[in-house]
């Protein structure tokens, strides 16, 4: 059996080598290029393709894989919003993902960013490098005094809830699928509007589906408390970036931590050499604000998560090739 792995970073190589050593019957080819319409030709002759969610996996790519007889496309991450499932199905290519490589990685990062916003660390860093070591006027707010609204209570949302509660925050949540344990505790509000109305902090943990595209927009920001803090470690498309900028300008939104951005492809995880050369005016606008933290989709990026992403995706690819089955197959 032959598996080609696209977009392999140096930090993934040791885990891949370890997997290869434990799976001697599998012929693994490691490529640093991302899977796209050009590099897809490298997959000719391979049963399985393992890739990372960076570019769209379009009908053109999937039709080409179909002609190569590819049996499975395994993503080394959770989100599958970049895959054209109609084309995958028509080509009999199964798609697998890694549903839970480390929910804690994302939850821990989200709360870290919230704490930075609440304790004004970006402001103090700027003041300190300019020799200003005064306290005022940057007095902080304590998390234990706040209500955090968690939007979506899948694995990541639930891991975040645990941490928020550890800090003593009041947590409310909204999800169309209620978790039975959390439901018993009475954590859920009935509507997103109720969550917006009651929360001091909104923590987004929903996937990118059509229904929640730009769910945070001018209209929904208007329903929130003045000075609300927005945390988005989930998907850029959940937030209308122009509306967020307007809400930051007006003070409606008091702070934001964004680990994702709707136009992040080609911008995040790229070295532009200097701030001036970042080719995205909105990201620069956000980065320049003291009450906004922008990070380049790094919430997932821990040793625990990367190892799990590699092993789980490789296992899933191997299993689908040899048996046609894996509990990581995504039905769509």
Taking 3-state DSSP, the helix, strand and coil percentages for the chain, each rounded to the nearest 5, stand at 40, 15, 40
Task: Kindly name the residue from 76, 205, 297, 318 that is annotated as catalytic.
Answer: 297
Cβ distance 72 to 95 under 8 Å?
yes
Q: Does 77 bind ligand COI (CB under 6 A)?
A: yes
Residue 11 or 193: which CB sits closer to ligand COI? 11
Distance of CA 17 to the CA centre of its chain: 26
Q: What are phi and psi of 115, to 5 degrees?
A: -60, -40
Cβ distance 135 to 127 under 8 Å?
no
Distance CA 137, CA 140 (A): 9
Shortest separation between residue 87's beta carbon and ligand COI, angstroms: 20
Q: Does 300 bind ligand COI (CB under 6 A)?
A: yes
- The site for ligand COI, by CB under 6 A, has a size of 6
Q: Does 160 bind ligand COI (CB under 6 A)?
A: no
Shortest separation between residue 258's beta carbon and ligand COI, angstroms: 13
Shortest separation between residue 79's beta carbon and ligand COI, angstroms: 3
Q: Does 261 bind ligand COI (CB under 6 A)?
A: no
- Residue from 16, 26, 53, 258 binding ligand COI (CB under 6 A): 53
> Who contacts 210 (Cβ-Cβ below 8 Å, separation ≥6)?
none
Q: Quick one: 280 exposed, middle or buried, by C-beta within 10 A (0-12, 13-18, 19+)?
A: middle
Shortest separation between residue 153's beta carbon and ligand COI, angstroms: 17
Closest CA to 88 of 73, 68, 99, 74: 73
Distance CA 53, CA 105 (A): 17
User: Does the active-site annotation cover 205?
Assistant: no
Q: Does 79 bind ligand COI (CB under 6 A)?
A: yes
Which of the stretches 74-82, 165-173, 191-199, 209-217 binds ligand COI when contact is defined by CB under 6 A?
A: 74-82
Q: Does 174 bind ligand COI (CB under 6 A)?
A: no
Residue carrying structure tokens 């208007």 = 222
Task: Kindly name the residue from 235, 288, 289, 318 that is annotated as catalytic.
Answer: 235
Which of the stretches 76-84, 112-120, 241-249, 276-284 binds ligand COI when contact is defined by CB under 6 A?
A: 76-84
Q: Does 78 bind ligand COI (CB under 6 A)?
A: yes
Distance CA 37, CA 43 (A): 11
- Residue from 297, 307, 318, 328 binding ligand COI (CB under 6 A): 297
User: What tokens does 258 get?
Assistant: 């964004």
Residue 155 or 225: which CB sits closer to ligand COI? 155
Shortest separation between residue 134's beta carbon and ligand COI, angstroms: 39
Cβ distance 149 to 174 under 8 Å?
yes
User: Does the active-site annotation cover 264?
Assistant: yes
Q: What are phi and psi of 76, to 5 degrees?
A: -90, 30
Please report, as ranges, the residues that interact with ligand COI according to CB under 6 A.
Answer: 53, 77-79, 297, 300
Catalytic residues: 235, 264, 297
């Amino acid at each position: 059996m032959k598996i080609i792995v696209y977009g392999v970073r140096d930090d993934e190589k040791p885990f891949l080598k370890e997997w290869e050593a434990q799976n001697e019957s599998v012929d693994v080819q490691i490529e640093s290029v991302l899977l796209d319409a050009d590099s897809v030709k490298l997959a000719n002759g391979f049963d399985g393709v393992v890739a990372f969610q960076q570019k769209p996996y379009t009908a053109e790519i999937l039709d080409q894989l179909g002609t190569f007889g590819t049996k499975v496309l395994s993503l080394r991450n959770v989100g599958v919003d970049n895959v054209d499932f109609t084309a995958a199905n028509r080509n009999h290519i199964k798609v697998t993902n890694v549903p839970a490589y480390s929910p804690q990685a994302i939850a821990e990062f989200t709360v870290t960013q919230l704490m930075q916003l609440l304790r004004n660390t970006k402001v103090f860093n700027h003041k300190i490098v300019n020799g200003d070591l005064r306290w005022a006027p940057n007095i902080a707010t304590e998390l234990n005094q706040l209500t955090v609204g968690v939007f979506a209570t899948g694995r990541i949302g639930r891991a975040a809830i645990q941490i928020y509660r550890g800090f003593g925050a009041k947590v409310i949540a909204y999800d169309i699928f209620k978790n039975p344990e959390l439901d018993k505790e009475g954590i859920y509000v009935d509507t997103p509007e109720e969550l917006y109305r009651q929360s001091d902090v909104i923590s987004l943990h929903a996937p990118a589906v059509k229904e929640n595209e730009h769910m945070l927009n001018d209209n929904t920001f208007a329903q929130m408390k003045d000075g609300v803090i927005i945390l988005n470690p989930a998907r850029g498309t959940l937030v209308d970036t122009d509306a967020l900028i307007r809400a930051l300008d007006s003070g409606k939104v008091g702070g934001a931590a964004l680990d994702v951005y709707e136009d992040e492809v080609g911008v995040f995880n790229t070295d532009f050499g200097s701030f001036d050369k970042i080719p995205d005016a909105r990201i620069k606008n956000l980065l320049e604000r003291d009450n906004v933290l922008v990070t380049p989709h790094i919430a997932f990026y821990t040793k625990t998560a990367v190892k799990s992403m590699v092993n789980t995706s490789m296992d899933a690819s191997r299993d689908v090739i040899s048996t046609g089955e894996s509990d990581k197959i995504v039905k769509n």
